[in-house]
Amino acid sequence: MELVPIKIDNGEEKAWNQVCGLPRKDVCQKTGADFDTKEGAYRLKSFGRDFLVNPCEMGIKGTSDNCGLFLGKLKDFFRIATLWYMNSALDIPQTGRLVRPVDVKGGHRFTVGTHVLPLDAIAAKFAKDPEGFIKKGQEYGAEVLTGYGDAYIKLYPFPRVPVTMLLWLEDEEFPAKVDLFFDSTCELQLSLSDVVWAVSMMCCLIMLED
């Protein structure tokens, strides 16, 4: 599928500089990152991978080869999402109340046009393959859960932003279906509906990777 770049004209340089000026201890506490003194950057875990984020140089790099997808093909989504997470994240507990991306403020835009999430494509790919769905999620650090659906995983785009994905297999009556949910605190952790969408898209696109 064709990727639509996300552009948020909200003072990117100013936002980076704002994080740069914060005490390291505070940034680590609110984001769940660690500060790597040797690298001079925050070590932030995303999708089971470690990234080095240097707000003062407005740069992000991976610590291993398996970071390439996020620094290449998905870089527009990943860079914007990381920037706003570093700015917005709060050290607060999750509520456990699940919401769909369309339920966040401004999320109604995600129901039409290029903003529609490719959940149907994921459902078609794994319509009869719950093991494949789980395996693909685990490639990106997913936690495997039980209790709902035919396959149930929780991805961690960022430490304080879990994303739940449920697969319902096709049967004689109904086609396969995939649902995607955030914890209701996502609007506090990511601040902008466009960033919630960017994170949602990354979660979908990694599941469609071959």
pLDDT digits (tens, 9 = 90+) for 141-156: 999 999 999 999 999 9
- Do residues 42 and 102 both lie within one domain? no
Q: Which regions in the chain score pLDDT beneath 70?
A: 1-11
Give the closest residue to 137 by CA, choosing from 118, 101, 116, 164: 164
Which residue, 58, 88, 118, sits at the end of a domain?
A: 88
pLDDT attached to residue 10: 55
Contacting residues for 159 by C-beta, under 8 A, at least 6 apart: 31, 32, 33, 44, 45
- CA 181 centroid distance within chain: 11
pLDDT attached to residue 192: 84
pLDDT attached to residue 11: 67
- Do residues 32 and 103 both lie within one domain? no
Residue 7 lies in a domain: no
pLDDT attached to residue 5: 44
Alpha-carbon torsion, ordered 194, 141, 154, 168, to 10 deg: 100
d(CA 91, CA 28): 10
Q: Is the dihedral of CA 77, 150, 182, 106 positive or negative?
A: positive
pLDDT attached to residue 6: 46
Residue 23 lies in a domain: yes
pLDDT attached to residue 144: 97
d(CA 167, CA 186): 22
- Residue 163: give the domain boundaries: 98-207
- Do residues 110 and 170 both lie within one domain? yes
DSSP-assigned beta bridge partners for residue 34: 43
- Do residues 129 and 202 both lie within one domain? yes
